[in-house]
Amino acid sequence: MRNSRSSRSPRISRSPRRAVTAAALAAALLALSACGGGDDSGSADASGKVEGEITFQTWNLKANFKSYFEGLIDDFEQKYPDAKVKWVDQPGEGYADKISADAAGGTLPDVVNVSPDLVAPLAKAGLALDLDKSAGKYEKEYLPGAWKSHQVPGMEGTYAFPWYLNTGPLFYNKRLFKDAGLDADKPPKTFDELFTDAEELAKKSKGKVATLANVPTIEDFGRYGVPLMNKEGTGFTFNDAKGVELLTKYKELYDAKALDGQALTATPESTGKKFLTEAVAMNPGSALDLEKFKKDAPRLYENIGITPQISNTGKDNMYVMGVMVNTRTKHTPAAVAFAHFVTDAQRQMSFAKKVAIFPSTKGSLDDPYFTKADGTDETRVRIAAAKSLKTAVNYTPVLFSEQMKVELRNAVARALQGKQSPKEALDNAVKACDRLLKQS
Amino acid sequence: MKSTAAASVPAATGAPGPSASGRRSRPADTAAPRPRRIRRQLVTSPWLFAAPGLAIVGVFILYPFVGTVINSFTDKRQLVEGKYVGLANFRELLHDDMFWIGLRNSTLYVLVVVPALVVLPLLLALLVQKQIPGITFFRSAFYTPVVASIVVVGLIWVWMLDERGLVNAVLEAVGAGKVGFLSDQWLLLFSAMAVTVWKGLGYYMIIYLAALANVPRELHEAAAVDGAGPVRRFLSVTVPAVRSTMVLVAALSSVAAFKVFSEVYLMAGPTGGPAGEDTTLVMLVQRTGTGLTGRVGYASAISVVIFVVTVALMLLVLRADRKEDK
């Protein structure tokens, strides 16, 4: 028996070794696959000395504003000689994925440029510092609406300093309006006026010119006056009668070819291109677009009309950018001081003069830069936008994730194609979004 | 452990002669015993040489693979550690309309693209195989799409197939009217398939050219002497001669087709076409699992399904090949 075992001994002896190796490997893999946790949170107390090296991450700003940020960092380091700021910039594409990977890997920078929908999951994961507790004294410097924009329903606190705001007018092609027999100086202001004009334009052009190139988004539902979420922030409500009414109107537009045929797969870039080539009559934009029209589509620029966003609520939609502080930072006072420094009135005003954005600090929008006309279209757009921002609302609910946007978009597409009734499509979308909300 | 280690010692010194099981002794058994150091080196050296490769495979293939399988049984999200949920993710898949749409589209992609990529490059290879002046230009031209960036290629095709693009302008000029290549769910999917086939032709053509170079000319001459025409010679001489290459192409293209992402993503947009009807399984993984609120556990379950189907496809192709051999 011994001999028999001996003759096969190499195989017998390797098996346990293999098993041990495999077990060790599996254990290592399991341990690795479970990584990312751990509690290495820093202090929430921002009252100490401003010192140490912190990392500041922006969202696609280095290419155009390198000198502005380098100057800003120099100013900060001069004010606080014991603090040092390392600036990193991430591309616009896949920014949420980058933050997600950093957050999971424990490498999230100390100070991060975020939007409200990005800050919500970070706050829920305990990675965004509650500024009401750590930096509440600064609240009075900002517009109340802007400060609230980084509050998460169901959670106490504010999780990012408001930074720049953006909104834009609606551009329209006066020539296409005139060709359809419409008054080019009286563009639509409400959704009802928009639907009437759009149908007329499609009829007169025999379906060749659509008025819009985009399906309705959550912001459109908001501006139509549809309640988007319940007060507790625990469920979506955009499937109510008003929501169904809006989608039914869009279905009529789609059938009448007043909504572009490729709207169901459109992206902001593709709709912008269609407006540029005069295939659609209206498109939302910003003051930046005027330069593009002038350069790339001079014929369109000659006929460009500028009007406020279509709204039934009397309030425009605005986008808010924020700057959050990572709770795991080792230098909380420096991180909070820098986040405030970037977003204070002086710095926001100076940034706004470099690019078509608007400050979220109190009183800044009353600066002559945003109130005095100089006869140029750019200034006219800037003044109109600054005026609308005083009452504008960020209609996108903070908890409305990318996956939820896809659910709504697909539901809208199913309704427009006639595969589901508007009511059925919106009911399904709300059901799917509520499920995602519960899982988040 | 101890007894095993003890049992291995005599073998290491080569002490035992013929085994009790009656096996014949190997010459090595009668040779002088090797020093332990050399024997140890014989065992460790190959592993040391293989270590860099194994490390790469372990870190970039094995670890993510095992991690994905583990995650598929959890409710892990991007920023929240998951807990074990058993088969819940797989059960949810069964009731997820978008999963079935993805499975349908990915399967359809295989059914349409694979036959095209097995047959068309072979015909193309036969065309450019001939040694005539200027043929190198055509070989290069057919290969160009392979080296072109898929993003650039996708954007150009989107531009051409747009309602106001080149293709529709030509169709309108000949009175055929506009076609909604990018707005109809089926036309969009088939347009993406066409791009995949167009881009893959050159790659598989090169593989076929190598295989065709090994087909003995005498076989064609003998068939011609026996009165076989070009079609008969193709079916009875060329196809059997390159059959193993066809199997290879079928295996490679079926795996690639089932995992399609870029072409459909670029042409149908991030939402996967109108109402997401052109979503493929890999697109669904990307959409479900990424972002700050991404459901990693659920996306991992979809990935496991893709892995199982891909392995099944490979086995199917290999089995079909073995049957042919018999």
Tell me if A97 and B290 make a contact (CB, 8 A cut-off): yes
pLDDT < 70: residue spans in chain B: 1-33, 323-326
Answer yes or no: do A257 and A130 share one domain. no
Q: Note whether A125 and A100 are within 8 A (CB).
A: no
Please give the Cα distance from A62 to A64 (Å, whole number). 6
CB < 8 Å to B10, chain A: 6, 9
Answer yes or no: do A96 and A162 share one domain. yes
CB < 8 Å to B7, chain A: 2, 5-6, 9, 12-13
Q: Which residues in A231-260 are b (16+ Cβ under 10 Å) and which e?
A: eebeebbbbeebbbebbebbbebbebbbbb
Q: What is the pLDDT of residue B325?
A: 61
Q: What percent of chain A has pLDDT over 90?
A: 64
Q: Is B23 on the interface with A (CB under 8 A)?
A: yes
DSSP H/E element including A86: strand A83-90
Q: Which residues in B150-182 are b (16+ Cβ under 10 Å) and which e?
A: beebbeebbeebbbebebbeeeeeeeeeebbbb
Q: Note whether A436 and A403 are within 8 A (CB).
A: yes
Closest chain B residue to A277, measured at CA: B164
Confidence of residue A86 (pLDDT cuts 50, 70, 90): very high
Residue A344 has pLDDT above 90, yes or no: yes
**Of the residues A373, A389, A405, which one is the last residue of a structural domain?**
A389
Weakest mean pLDDT among A2-6, A291-295, B50-54, B201-205: A2-6
Q: Which of A15, A95, A100 to mutate to test the interface with B (most CBs of B within 10 A)?
A: A100
CB < 8 Å to B63, chain A: 29, 32-33
Tell me if B71 and A124 make a contact (CB, 8 A cut-off): no
Q: What is the pLDDT of residue A266?
A: 87
Closest chain A residue to B159, measured at CA: A270
Answer yes or no: do A175 and A145 share one domain. no
Q: Which CATH number does the domain housing residue A131 bear?
A: 3.40.190.10
Tell me if B183 and A10 make a contact (CB, 8 A cut-off): no
Q: Shortest CB distance from B183 goes to which of A103, A261, A439?
A: A261
Which structure tokens are listed for A412? 């809208």
Q: Which residue has the higher pLDDT, A42 or B215?
A: B215
Please give the Cα distance from B239 to B246 (Å, whole number). 8
Interface of B with A in 242-281 (CB under 8 A): 268-271, 273-276
- Between the alpha carbon of residue A392 and those of residues A26, A312, A360, A386, B270, the distances in Å are 55, 13, 12, 10, 29
Burial of residue A400, with CB atoms counted within 10 A of its CB: 0-12 exposed, 13-18 middle, 19 or more buried: buried
Report angle CA A271, A275, A280 to the nearest 5 degrees: 90
CB < 8 Å to B58, chain A: 25
Q: Shortest CB distance from B287 goes to which of A277, A406, A439?
A: A406
CB < 8 Å to B162, chain A: 262
Tell me if A439 and B66 make a contact (CB, 8 A cut-off): no
Nearest to A351 by CA among A13, A28, A58: A58
Residue A35 has pLDDT above 50, yes or no: no
Please state, as a whole number, how many other Cβ atoms lie within 10 Å of the Cβ of residue B41: 13
Please state, as a whole number, how many other Cβ atoms lie within 10 Å of the Cβ of residue A357: 21
**What is the arithmetic mean of pLDDT over A3-15?**
39
Tell me if B8 and A100 make a contact (CB, 8 A cut-off): no
Residue A267 counted as domain residue: yes
Answer yes or no: do A296 and A175 share one domain. yes
Answer yes or no: do A266 and A346 share one domain. no
Please give the Cα distance from A218 to A387 (Å, whole number). 23
DSSP state of A92: S
Which tens digit of pLDDT belongs to each residue from A387-414?
A: 888 888 899 999 998 889 999 999 999 9
Domain region containing A112: 52-166+318-389
Tell me if A401 and B19 make a contact (CB, 8 A cut-off): no
Q: Which residue has the higher pLDDT, A42 or A339?
A: A339
In a 3-state reduction of DSSP, which class is residue A43? coil
Please give the Cα distance from A217 to A309 (Å, whole number). 14
Tell me if A436 and B293 make a contact (CB, 8 A cut-off): yes
Tell me if B66 and A125 make a contact (CB, 8 A cut-off): no
Spell out the CATH class of B89-325: mainly alpha
Tell me if B163 and A261 make a contact (CB, 8 A cut-off): yes
Answer yes or no: do A87 and A194 share one domain. no
Closest chain A residue to B22, measured at CA: A4
Tell me if A406 and B276 make a contact (CB, 8 A cut-off): yes
Residue A26 has pLDDT above 50, yes or no: no
Tell me if B79 and A125 make a contact (CB, 8 A cut-off): yes
Answer yes or no: do A86 and A104 share one domain. yes
Burial of residue A21, with CB atoms counted within 10 A of its CB: 0-12 exposed, 13-18 middle, 19 or more buried: exposed
Q: Which residue has the higher pLDDT, A318 or B26?
A: A318
Nearest to B195 by CA among B140, B162, B150: B150
Tell me if B164 and A277 make a contact (CB, 8 A cut-off): yes
Chain A nearest CA to B177, separation (Å)? 13
Nearest to A196 by CA among A183, A214, A208: A183
Q: Is B172 on the interface with A (CB under 8 A)?
A: no
Tell me if B162 and A122 make a contact (CB, 8 A cut-off): no
Residue A47 counted as domain residue: no
Task: Please state the pTM of the whole predicted model.
Answer: 0.80
Q: Shortest CB distance from A406 goes to which of B10, B71, B271?
A: B271
Closest chain B residue to A98, measured at CA: B291
SS (H, E, C) chain B: CHHHHHHHHHHHHCCCCCCCCCCCCCHHHHCCCCCHHHHHHHHHHHHHHHHHHHHHHHHHHHHHHHHHHHHCCECCECCECCCECCCHHHHHHHCCHHHHHHHHHHHHHHHHHHHHHHHHHHHHHHHHHCCCCCHHHHHHHHHHHHHCCHHHHHHHHHHHHCCCCHHHHHHHHCCCCCCCCCCCHHHHHHHHHHHHHHHHHHHHHHHHHHHHHCCCHHHHHHHHHCCCCHHHHHHHHHHHHCHHHHHHHHHHHHHHHHCCCHHHHHHHCCCCCHHHCCCCHHHHHHHHHCCCCCCHHHHHHHHHHHHHHHHHHHHHHHHHHHHHHC
Q: What is the pLDDT of residue A342?
A: 96
Answer yes or no: do A91 and A150 share one domain. yes
Q: Note whether A124 and B78 are within 8 A (CB).
A: no
| Domains in chain A, number | 2
Please give the Cα distance from A208 to A278 (Å, whole number). 11
Q: Which of A13, A247, A273, A416 to mutate to test the interface with B (most CBs of B within 10 A)?
A: A13
Chain A nearest CA to B14, separation (Å)? 9
Q: Shortest CB distance from B7 goes to which of A5, A125, A401?
A: A5
Please give the Cα distance from A72 to A58 (Å, whole number). 13
Residue A157 counted as domain residue: yes
Closest chain B residue to A280, measured at CA: B164
Weakest mean pLDDT among A146-150, A374-378, B27-31: B27-31
Q: Which of B72, B73, B78 to mutate to test the interface with A (most CBs of A within 10 A)?
A: B78
Tell me if A118 and B21 make a contact (CB, 8 A cut-off): no
Please give the Cα distance from A237 to A215 (Å, whole number). 19
Confidence of residue A31 (pLDDT cuts 50, 70, 90): very low
CB < 8 Å to A7, chain B: 11, 16, 19-21, 23
Please state, as a whole number, how many other Cβ atoms lie within 10 Å of the Cβ of residue B147: 10
Q: In the predicted model, what is the mean pLDDT of chain A?
A: 87
Q: What is the pLDDT of residue A438?
A: 87
Answer yes or no: do A323 and A344 share one domain. yes
CB < 8 Å to A414, chain B: 275
Which structure tokens are listed for B8? 């291995």
Q: Is B64 on the interface with A (CB under 8 A)?
A: no
Answer yes or no: do A156 and A251 share one domain. no
Q: What is the pLDDT of residue B11?
A: 37
Q: What beta strand segments (E) does A225-335 contain?
A: 282-284, 304-307, 319-325
Enter the ipTM: 0.77
Tell me if B273 and A32 make a contact (CB, 8 A cut-off): no
Confidence of residue A36 (pLDDT cuts 50, 70, 90): very low
Answer yes or no: do A311 and A177 share one domain. yes
Q: What is the pLDDT of residue B33?
A: 65
Answer yes or no: do A57 and A119 share one domain. yes
Q: Is B71 on the interface with A (CB under 8 A)?
A: yes
DSSP H/E element including A117: helix A116-124
